[in-house]
Structure 1
Amino acid sequence: MTGAYVALEDGRVVEARARAPGRSRGELVFTTAYTGYEESLTDPSYEEQVLTFSYPLIGNYGVREERFESDRVHPRAVVARELTDDVAEWLTEEGVPAVDHLDTRDLVVGIREEGAMKCGIAAGPDATPEAAKEELAQCKGMSEHTDIGSQVSVAEQETHNADGTGPRVTLVDCGAKGSIVSSLVERDAVVDVLPYDATVADVRHADPDVLFISNGPGDPENFEQARALVEEFVGNVPLAGICLGQQVIAGALGGDTEKMAFGHRGVNQPVRDLRTDKVVMTTQNHGYTVSDPGDLEVTQVNVNDDTPEGLESEELEVITRQYHPEANPGPHDSLGFFDDVLALADERVVNTAD
């Protein structure tokens, strides 16, 4: 057993056990999910963060590639009460430092009380408290990455289900989970995935029936080109968005966003529909939220803190969700969102014919 240390922004240095060696730094956040660790670890929205699992045992059903949401692990480091050998070996192969045998309950309470905080991690035979503090010092001196989209987006256009007979969806990849694409393909949509910095000309060439802004990491203000696309096509092409996509679309349509104290990350977030008063359980992973919906109507809210979970405009043909309706991992209560998105395209075809 080799040692590890986690240096926290609040001044504490926590001793732990190294499970995957290395040094790293980032924003320490937590998820309450008790399953779906493979999906969480491969979710691009965790880019540049250090992920803490609040559930005590991570890895009890192994590691299977078919559950991955992307082609690599995205958190800069992983913290857990106990990691199984399967997960530890996977993270070692990925070059992602991981530690366990520490009180994650205490970390989670600290984040809830003080907010997400920076941390530095040193793990392995040469780990020392000083090394973890050095990582923290570098992290605290960094400004937030303003071009984070380049780390999580496709480099060039990809087309999925090219022979499909359903609507054509242009998905702007700001860090999209793979199951967003598969949820659309399962409904026979043709999905053109464009880079996060796609131009107006790129979208015009794709000629979408729906323009879809994906989830992704960090501050929505960093995704200026995606915002420009919304401003250009709103009112002419139906718009949809998930997570970061909701924030980008709201910002482009007169709204605003703000950083949350510790965000929503887990698979048990209750969301109430304001029109039906129905509550569904949702999967979420975001540190920012819409503070002003602008030209959009708030149609769904989080039961715990009333933050906007759904925005819509019938006139502008816009529908967005802050949570992850593709539900990998998580409950399947909101899978119908993808049917609603494609219905926008069908309505556009009917209206154009009229």
Structure 2
Amino acid sequence: MPDAYVALEGGSVVAARCRAPGTSHGELVFTTAYTGYEESLTDPSYEEQVLTFSYPLIGNYGVRSERFESERVHPRAVVARELTEDVAEWLAEEGVPAVDRLDTRDLVGQIREGGAMKCGISAGPDASEQKAREALADCPGMSDHTDIGAQVSVAEAQTRGDGSTDVALVDCGAKGSIAQSLVERDATVHVLPYDTAPGEVADLDPDVLFISNGPGDPANFEAAQSLVEEFAGEIPLAGICLGQQIIARALGGSTEKMDFGHRGVNQPVRDLRTDRVVMTTQNHGYTVADPGELEVTQVNVNDDTPEGLESDALDVLTRQYHPEANPGPNDSLGFFDDVLELADCRTPVAAD
């Protein structure tokens, strides 16, 4: 007798086994990653989503906190073909519903055909199809989460490292390994809340303004976009994932929602200048539709969406993928060296 149910936006309900009890809802997405489940589950970019793992066994090397990208699990619920006891217990402790023993190949196929969709989950002794359908009915769309940054950002500014280059990292849901990658390269990283005002950045007078990754629709991160508009051409700009999208929007471009996004550790990216292809880690459901004032320098081999944007005139360098790439591959770690080289282009900013 099943003790878990997943209600899909298309109207169907899938029976499953409960591994961590609860009722939840979110945008149902999938990742093709076959390692790095700890990193995925603690990635703030999965906020308000239900994460489906396409790889059949999740948890085969345990759960170690040193691999976490943040302090908590971010997906609203987790779906897998099979979860080990270690992962199931971890999710139960975190209060995140989890289910397995369902056909994830079919589920992934539905997402690929119909796009990321809303879903509701009911799991546990009192689970029912009705509860799953009710959870689905209450599920908002991703663009409706207008202040999602407040759920994932630091509440107050923090400083990490004590290096020779000052980086202002606007935390829109940053993975911990982004700041760590910069600290390892002799940077002082000032992690700032997602709604930081321009005056606070001017007071800090950083060598580089860095917009992080994060969840949801980039149109909902108006404060970060305002920072880019304020300091473009004065402070070198860098961005990863959501950060690339925010910077593009601020510099005359536009973004759009993808059908099912890019989520996994095997996305091929081609550099248009060198024709070199690297494998990358990605997690995003939106993309840049129009780069505005920026030049597209890298594209996804599978669908030609922009993966890298640059401007020599404005000292801008962005990537749609995750160069820090925990748990790998590490093909693009050199991005952080390139970001710190932007510091040589810095013009001091006078506070008002």
136-145 or 105-114: which moved more?
Answer: 136-145
The residue type equivalent to 1:278 in the other structure is R
The residue type equivalent to 1:24 in the other structure is S
* Corresponding position of 1:149: 149
Q: 2:295 aligns with which of 278, 294, 297?
A: 297
With structure 2 as the length reference, what TM-score do the two structures score? 0.97
The residue type equivalent to 1:279 in the other structure is V
Note the C-alpha offset of 1:143.
6.5
- Tell me the distance in 2 between the aligned counterparts of 1:229 and 1:101: 46
SS of 1:139 mapped into structure 2:
coil
Deviations 1:65-122 (A, max 9, x none): 0000000000000000000000000000000000000000000000000000000000
Note the C-alpha offset of 1:2.
6.1
* Corresponding position of 1:196: 194
- Tell me the distance in 2 between the aligned counterparts of 1:339 and 1:148: 30
SS of 1:288 mapped into structure 2:
strand
- Stretches of structure 2 that go unaligned for 5 or more consecutive residues are 348-352
With structure 1 as the length reference, what TM-score do the two structures score? 0.96
* Corresponding position of 2:159: 159
Mapped contact 1:31–1:52 kept (Cα < 8 A): yes
Note the C-alpha offset of 1:155.
0.3
Note the C-alpha offset of 1:286.
0.1
Within a 5 Å distance, the mapping from 1:149-298 to structure 2 comes to 149-161=149-161, 164-298=162-296
- Tell me the distance in 1 between the aligned counterparts of 2:280 and 2:163: 30
The residue type equivalent to 1:324 in the other structure is H
Mapped contact 1:28–1:50 kept (Cα < 8 A): yes
- Tell me the distance in 2 between the aligned counterparts of 1:141 and 1:84: 31
Q: Which runs of 4+ in 1 moved over 6 A?
A: none
- Tell me the distance in 1 between the aligned counterparts of 2:293 and 2:279: 27
The alignment's C-alpha RMSD in Å is 1.3
2:60 maps to 1:57: no
* Corresponding position of 2:8: 8
Note the C-alpha offset of 1:201.
1.0
- Tell me the distance in 1 between the aligned counterparts of 2:213 and 2:318: 11
* Corresponding position of 1:114: 114
SS of 2:313 mapped into structure 1:
coil
Aligned residues: 348
2:103 maps to 1:103: yes
* Corresponding position of 2:350: none
- Tell me the distance in 1 between the aligned counterparts of 2:46 and 2:293: 29
SS of 2:118 mapped into structure 1:
strand
Identity of aligned residues (%): 80
* Corresponding position of 1:307: 305
Note the C-alpha offset of 1:142.
8.8
SS of 2:342 mapped into structure 1:
helix
The residue type equivalent to 2:42 in the other structure is T
- Tell me the distance in 2 between the aligned counterparts of 1:291 and 1:191: 30
Note the C-alpha offset of 1:144.
1.6
